[in-house]
Amino acid sequence: MDPFSEAAVRGAYDAVADDYARTFGDDLERLPLDRELLDAAADDAPRGWVLEAGCGPAPAARHLAGRAAPVVGLDVSAAILAVARARCPGLQVLEGNLRQLPLRDACCGLVVAMYCLHNLARRDVPRALEEIHRVLVGAGVLLVSTHLGTGDVVVEEFLGHRVPAVGGALYERDEILELVTAAGFAVEREEHRDPLAHEHPTERIYVVLRAA
Query: What burial class does residue 113 get, using C-beta atoms within 10 Å of its C-beta: 0-12 exposed, 13-18 middle, 19+ buried?
Result: buried
Q: Residue 185 — very low, low, confident or very high, per pLDDT cuts 50/70/90?
A: very high
Q: Residue 1 — very low, low, confident or very high, per pLDDT cuts 50/70/90?
A: confident
Q: What percent of the chain has pLDDT over 90?
A: 95
Of residues 102, 172, 98, 173, the one with CA closest to residue 142: 98
Instruction: Give me the mean pLDDT over the 184-194 stretch.
Output: 98
What three-state secondary structure class fits 105? coil
Q: Residue 108 — very low, low, confident or very high, per pLDDT cuts 50/70/90?
A: very high
Express each pLDDT in 191-202 by its tens digit.
999 999 999 999
Q: Residue 68 — very low, low, confident or very high, per pLDDT cuts 50/70/90?
A: low
Could you tell me the residue ranges of all domains in the chain?
6-211
Express each pLDDT in 133-159 by its tens digit.
999 999 999 999 999 999 999 999 999
Of residues 120, 114, 2, 140, the one with CA closest to residue 58: 114
Residue 179 CA to residue 79 CA, distance in Å, equals: 30
Instruction: Give me the mean pLDDT over the 101-120 stretch.
Output: 97
The percent helix, strand, coil of the chain (3-state, each to 5) is: 35, 30, 30
User: Which neighbouring-strand residues pair with 89?
Assistant: none
Asked if 1 and 164 touch (Cβ cutoff 8 Å), the reply is: yes
Q: Residue 161 — very low, low, confident or very high, per pLDDT cuts 50/70/90?
A: very high
CATH class label, 6-211: alpha beta
